[in-house]
Amino acid sequence: MPLAFSNKCRALVGLLALLSVGCSRASDHTRTLTLHQSWPLAVGTEVAGYTVSSGLGDITLNLRGDNIHMPFDGTVEATPVNKSNCVLVSSGDVPAYLFRLCGVRQAQLGHHREGSAIGSAGQLVFSMLRRQPDGTWAIVEPSPKFVEQMLAR
């Protein structure tokens, strides 16, 4: 399923068994995303009243409130179900990849230049996703150099 871009609120084909989940009027910068993998305990899932903030394919970094920086020119978008303060980062420079950042405080949605601060985090949960030939997204391991580029400014 190809990605849809519009300024209207859309459904996110979700992390849990690829279910469609409605969204609220959170932002004009919201993206629809279909994951290739599905795990029952994905980011955003609630278990006994607690929200899962990291899962398979995610790495967690203790930023101690430090800023997160845009690794290249691109766009920061909210996710429709945003219980874990997640955003998606994309760029025309790397169109086959998306970056999901959870735990982001005061996220600055919209277009950003490389190096600009896009928010901060105590515990940052980071995922790198690669577009598959069928239009879905698969979580892949990020390179340490790329993660450093987002943090060292």
Q: Could you give all domains of the chain from N- to C-terminal order, each with its CATH number?
A: 12-151 (2.70.70)
Q: How far apart are CA 140 and CA 128, in angstroms?
A: 6
pLDDT number for residue 59: 83
What digits encode the pLDDT tens for the residues 48-95? 676 666 667 788 888 889 899 999 999 999 987 666 789 999 999 999
Question: Helix or strand or coil: residue 32?
Answer: coil
Long-range contacts of 35-42, Cβ-Cβ distance < 8 Å, separation of 24 or more: 35/129, 35/136, 35/137, 35/138, 35/139, 36/132, 36/134, 36/136, 36/137, 36/138, 37/138, 37/139, 39/15, 40/16, 42/14, 42/15, 42/16
Q: How far apart are CA 51 and CA 84, in angstroms?
A: 7
pLDDT number for residue 75: 97
Whether residue 111 has pLDDT greater than 90: yes
Share of the chain above pLDDT 90, in %: 33
What digits encode the pLDDT tens for the residues 4-58? 333 222 222 222 222 223 333 344 677 776 666 666 666 676 666 766 666 677 8
What is the CB neighbour count within 10 angstroms for residue 150?
A: 21
Q: Does pTM top 0.75 for this prediction?
A: no
